[in-house]
Amino acid sequence: MENGLCKEAIEAYKKAIETDPSFISAYYNLAVIYHQTQQFYNAITCLKKVIELDPGDASAFNNLGVLYFTINVFDEANKYFEKSLSIEPDYKEAKNNLEKVQQKLQMIQTQFFLKQPEDTGYNKKCLKVGFVSIWFERGQSYVTKTLRDVIAKNHETFVFARTGGVFGQPRLEVQGYWDVPNLTTYPDYQIPPDRLTKWIRDNNLDLVIFNEEYDWNLVMAAKATGIKIATYLDYYKENWKPYMSLYDTVLCSTKRTFHLVKDFCKAYYIGWGIDTGLFKPLISNERKYTFFHNAGWLGINYRKMTPAVILAFDTISQYNHDITLFIHAQTELERLPPEIITLVHNNSRITYHVETVPAPGLYHKGSILVFPSKLEGLGLPLLEGMACGLPAIATDAPPMNEFVKDGYNGLLVKVANRLTRHDNIAFPEEIVDMADLTFKMDYLIKNPGLVYKMQINARNSINNYNTFGKKVNEIIFPSSKLPISRDNKLRNIEFLTYCK
């Protein structure tokens, strides 16, 4: 079926289901179309709905097994074929499929215990590794770029750069820092599964690394090509749990995320490394601002707490006449609340600077980093600022308190309130206590000797980029030992034609 016709058919069946939520045939036919267009997650969801409506449908269980076999999740495939046969013992297709999946499982187990990496393709000196990510001046993109750079030292890398966006404006960078070999761009955030699998096959990739992928259709489509798939994970949603085992490797830069997912997927704690040759203290005659705050794009609901930083500074500046605040932002002042804009205009010691600056950024302009963020995945600006020798005033919540040790390389600000986000991210927003933030900023002003010691400690707290790169390479490639055949098609004519 052609793309346009598929979309029309999908919409038609969805409308039929809206009219009659128990219309089993519509779910079946949707599953067929989703299967044909490599939207495996959607196909699986439809068939699970069929089973919910009719738990005795042996065909639905068999076809679920086919889908899981297609995406190389053999344990699940085995489970569904067995369930199908428990309902209908003489089901020929299910019998044949169960035999094939059990042969596959036996082969994998045998090769694992015999330790035959020569069958996996991972004995090659240079692998082809692809990355799927947004690609512009944003923390998530910098994380992908760092992973890409450390892996590119030993392997050939490819980037599928999807278009991201800020404030409704599409963003994608291909120049300067973002100009890398084997860069493929896509003009939208949503990537059709067949477009991704074509990229995988055209480049003969061995491994694809996603950066926090929200579309399980893409993950399953990549899995169905027979290659290894991995993900970098900061944020997490509870409804991802059944699918996390699809990944051969899950890279966690924070202990918070690692401990949350380690029991149900192949998770590894990697920490994070900063290029300390690039992000470093600068010796300059330029007078430094007392406080530096990286506001970035401000974040949803002012996630970076920029208004709070301005309020706290305005308070202590009334009786500390020499202090200054430099705010580096990537969006205009007018996006802040009106009362905060007025404070900035009326306080000459606050500089709100809007500019997109490539690494190492503008950290050198400050002496103390103020980072009372409500929520971070990794908190890259925190680590970059510390690498530049700035002690940090940060939220006493993970992941910030994984890196800032109170009294050693900065001060932690107590949390006054916790809020659950509406987007179902597993981590709450942690709102700092304004009085404590103000006190901590004032305390460091009055203790320059402590600030000096913390500056040295902050720099020494950051993991070396090369050490980090070695750890990433050691984790990813030895963990990808299990062989997967690229020829995993099951004949199941019924699945393509069945309509109940």
Element (H, E) at 218: helix 216-224
Answer yes or no: is 498 within a domain.
Answer: no
Decide if 497 is inside a domain. no
For the beta carbon of residue 157, count every other beta carbon within 10 angstroms. 24
Closest-CA residue to 273 (of 96, 93, 147, 407): 147
| Same domain for 142 and 92 | no
Give the residue from 116, 144, 175 where a domain finishes.
116
- Together in a domain, 325 and 440: yes
Residue 244 has pLDDT above 50, yes or no: yes
| Same domain, yes or no: 318 and 385 | yes
What is the rounded CA–CA span in Å between residue 366 and residue 357?
Answer: 15
Same domain, yes or no: 112 and 132: no
Q: What is the pTM of this model?
A: 0.87
Between 182 and 500, whose confidence is greater? 182
Q: Is the pLDDT of residue 498 over 50?
A: no
pLDDT given for residue 212 in this prediction: 87
One-letter amino acid at 110 equals T
pLDDT digits (tens, 9 = 90+) for 35-70: 999 999 999 999 999 999 999 999 999 999 999 999
Q: Give the range among 94-108, 112-126, 407-421, 479-493 with minimum mean pLDDT.
A: 479-493
Listed residue (87, 44, 89, 46) closest to 65, CA to CA: 44
Q: Comparing C-alpha atoms, which of 487, 480, 483 is closest to residue 110? A: 483
Domain enclosing residue 419, as ranges: 289-462
Judge if 89 and 173 occupy the same domain: no
CATH of the domain at 269: 3.40.50.2000
Q: Domain check: are 99 and 132 in the same one?
A: no
- Please report the pLDDT score of residue 492 as a whole number: 39
| pLDDT one-digit tens code per residue, 447-468 | 999 999 999 999 999 987 888 9
How many Å apart are CA 361 and CA 370, to the nearest integer?
A: 15
Alpha-carbon Rg for the chain, nearest whole angstrom, is 26
* 357 in the same domain as 319: yes
Task: Please tell me the distance from the alpha carbon of residue 167 to that of residue 428, in angstroms, as a whole number.
Answer: 23
pLDDT above 50 for 500: no
Q: What is the total count of domains within the chain?
A: 3
482, part of any domain: no
pLDDT band at 4 (very low <50, low <70, confident <90, very high): low
* 10 pLDDT higher than 90: yes
Q: Residues 411, 443: contact at Cβ < 8 Å?
A: yes
- Each residue's pLDDT tens digit, 302-351: 999 999 999 999 999 999 999 999 999 999 999 999 999 999 999 999 99
Given a cut of 90, is residue 494 above it in pLDDT? no
What average pLDDT does the chain have? 90
Q: Residue 171: inside a domain, yes or no?
A: yes
Residue 489 lies in a domain: no
- Does residue 58 form part of some domain? yes
Instruction: Tell me what pLDDT residue 291 has.
Output: 98
Q: Is residue 100 part of a domain?
A: yes
